[in-house]
Amino acid sequence: MLRKTKIICTLGPATDDPNVLRELMKGGMNVARFNFSHQTHEEHKKRFDQIVAMREELGLPIATLLDTKGPEIRLHKIKGGKVLLKAGQNFTLYTKECLGDENGASITYAGLPEDIQVGTSILIDDGLVALKVTSFDAQKIECTVLNDGSISDRKSINVPDVHLSLPYISEKDEQDIVFGIQTGFDFIAASFVRSAQDIMELRAILNQHNCHWMKIIAKIENRDGVDNIDEIIRLVDGVMVARGDMGVEIPFEQLPAIQKLIIKKAYLAGKQVITATQMLDSMMQNPRPTRAEASDVANAIYDGTSAIMLSGETAAGKWPIESLQTMVKIAEQTERNIHYKKRFAARAAETDQEITNVTNAVSKATVTTAHNLLATAIITVTKSGNTAKMISKFRPNVPIIGGSTDPRVYRQMNLSWGVYPVMLQEKSTTDELFDHVVDMAAQAGYLNSGDLVVITAGVPLGISGTTNLIKVHVVGNILLAGTGITHGNICANLCVAKNEEEARHNFTKGDILVVPQTSNSMIDLIRDSSGIIAEQDGLNSHAAIAGLTLDKPVIIGAQNATTILKNGITVQLDAERGIVSSSDQHAI
């Protein structure tokens, strides 16, 4: 069973060992995250180059994600590096930089007095110390400390439920974005997105540098982002439910409902959605997760998240490989418990009113066809990756194999739920391209001879957003077809015989018996066979009744089977579809 939910691992000191990084890449990491709140460009470039070299070596479509620092407020330096504050004492925040002490400290955002009012809550260090504003002017904010706690250099400042006029793109962020463009990152995760305007500012920088390939993931981590989620989703390629700062900015009891809301809105819009922060936080120190963490990861998957993310667990924890292995186990087990066909029926009803374009309609029809025909996989040929995302939106119960000729799209599809990318070469006709993508999927181990797949693409080729075609295809050389009786898909050698005497001479236990017809005197051969192919037709024929009685896969009405098929060759018998095909897994 292929895992559908994707996993993002954050790189850091714990992954600098090449052996650790290789194990993460081989063990299920789909996307490597680079946290630009820490480290220099030189350090990030070294890690990026290591990822590129290793993904080429392993032949894996590992994508890279640049996570910006974003607009944030922090304390400046504190005398001695750290001071203890007591509940009830007065504490002043200054807008002009100075060295802080137990009576006050300066902040990095001079415009904060313009955004607050008396009674506003200000939180330091992710809420470990809470302040309440008692008075303020342009130079300082007087506060009362609400609880005991220590503060230290550069700790974060949060102002819950207050719209801040802080500029969205800082000088550092712009430098990081340009570095990301020049380096070749696949995704940018934009921190603290508040509105569509923030996304437009970011996209303007990308456009200035002729960067049209980098996909934008909006990190939702404050009240403005939640309130404006619909307009944000419309403009981005995906969203991240960033529960760390969100849990400080918004009351924690509201987080579960907000998480479910954002995940649902994102996947119904055909956008990637990542659930992040503290998913296996205890594994920073411990080799096993808490029960609550295991449930947290599973619930995000039940909600329909595209991806789950490890942060400090892999970047700086003691157990980076074990953290990934744990997440893989939870994801695989959770997915076994989900009835995707029932979910599709429910979601299809939800999206009926929203299907107003050809790509959406064809994508939904593709999933319906795959479910009805019990297909092994859905294959999409896509220029931009959008078709794969549209099919992923419906969360089918079969793998989505995404083929693209663009290396960036090939990697970017690795973040989409249930999509398994294959790299394609350019082809001049639709038939050549379809044959090529099936062959590449078989070479990757996703398909076997005799598998039925549903292919979708756009015609004419090479034009993004033209998904308008569905094709049902059987993998492999189809040698003959008839009427399938019972279930079963087996691969075995053939015993081809014109009569019972010849059958007894050629037969080896486990062979598929190929005869004009069967009879009671051949019951011992039928019992020892893997299956039966009979030229005689009719549901009341001996072969049909024997197959049902002995629970053997049987194909009847296989015209000229004893002439077409050759004794001793290995074939794939698919009784459910009534076909016999070559066993060569790479044939088309």
Question: Is residue 353 scored above 70 in pLDDT?
Answer: no
The reply to whether 478-582 shares the fold of 340-474 is: no
74 a catalytic residue = yes
Q: What angle do CA 497, 498, 503 make, to 5 degrees?
A: 35
Question: Is residue 14 scored above 70 in pLDDT?
Answer: yes
Question: Is residue 587 scored above 60 in pLDDT?
Answer: no
Query: For 320-336, what is each residue's pLDDT tens digit?
Result: 999 999 999 999 999 99
| Options 277, 382, 467, 562, the catalytic residue | 277
**Residue-by-residue DSSP string for 368-379:** HHHHHTT-SEEE
Superfamily (CATH H level) for 478-582: Phosphohistidine domain (3.50.30.10)
> Is omega for the bond preceding 460 within 30 degrees of 0, making it cis?
yes
| Options 33, 364, 393, 411, the catalytic residue | 33
Task: Delimit the domains of the chain by residue range.
Answer: 6-71+169-336, 73-158, 340-474, 478-582
* Domain over 6-71+169-336 is classified CATH 3.20.20.60: yes
Predicted structure pTM score: 0.83
Band of residue 343 on the pLDDT scale cut at 50, 70, 90? confident
Question: Is residue 462 scored above 80 in pLDDT?
Answer: no
| Sheet with strand 73-74: strands edge to edge | 73-74, 156-158, 121-124, 129-136, 140-145, 90-94, 104-106
Query: For 190-205, what is each residue's pLDDT tens digit?
Result: 999 999 999 999 999 9
User: Topology of domain 73-158, per CATH?
Assistant: M1 Pyruvate Kinase; Domain 3 (2.40.33)
Alpha helix positions (H), 461-507: 500-506
33 a catalytic residue = yes
Q: Judge contact between 390 and 379, C-beta under 8 A.
A: no
Alpha-carbon distance of 576 to 571, in angstroms, equals 15
Q: Is 478 exposed, middle or buried (0-12, 13-18, 19+ CB in 10 A)?
A: middle
Band of residue 588 on the pLDDT scale cut at 50, 70, 90? very low
**Rounded to the nearest 5°, which phi and psi values hold at 509?**
-50, 130
Superfamily (CATH H level) for 340-474: Pyruvate kinase, C-terminal domain (3.40.1380.20)
* C-alpha 452: how far from chain center: 24
| Options 22, 69, 74, 427, the catalytic residue | 74
Mean pLDDT, residues 250-279 taken together: 95
> Which amino acid belongs to residue 472?
V
Band of residue 463 on the pLDDT scale cut at 50, 70, 90? low
For 237, the 3-state DSSP assignment is: coil
- Looking at every residue in the chain, the average pLDDT score rounds to 93
* Identity of the highest mean pLDDT range in 343-352, 450-459, 494-503: 494-503
Beta bridge partners of 472: 454
| Options 3, 194, 219, 395, the catalytic residue | 219
Query: For 394-450, what is each residue's pLDDT tens digit?
Result: 999 999 999 999 999 999 999 999 999 999 999 888 888 898 999 999 999 999 877
